[in-house]
Amino acid sequence: MTQSNTVTVHILDKEYCIACPQDERANLESAARYLDGKMREIRTSGKVIGADRVAVMAALNITHDLLHKQQRLDQDANSTRQQVRDLLDRVDHALTDDSSS
């Protein structure tokens, strides 16, 4: 692997070199900053001690947020589908009424 295909990120005062395609570099750096922020937030709270435990708690919090947002997106998509069905039914009804006149 060439040096140009790796990205160095800093998470909780440690440096990690990660293989990454050039077009995903910005996303990886953004994800690393987000993770670092979450881990620092948890460590600062003082309720969790040890980098491994901080990492697990950060992963659980991030996963919880992701699943919650996905659930909301699914609910919104279902609601939108229902609204479209209702509108199509109204259009069909209007067309039926119009053709029977």
Domain count, the chain: 1
CATH number, position 67: 3.30.160.880
pLDDT for 75: 94
Domain that holds residue 26: 5-99
pLDDT of residue 101: 64
pLDDT cut 70: percent of the chain above it: 95
| pLDDT average, residue stretch 35-40 | 96
User: If you average pLDDT over residues 49-53, what whole number do you get?
Assistant: 91
Mean pLDDT of 11-26: 95
What pLDDT is recorded for position 1? 42
Tell me what pLDDT residue 90 has: 92
Q: Where are the alpha helices (DSSP H) in 1-101?
A: 25-45, 51-99
Rounded to an integer, what distance in angstroms lies between the CA atom of residue 101 and that of residue 88? 20
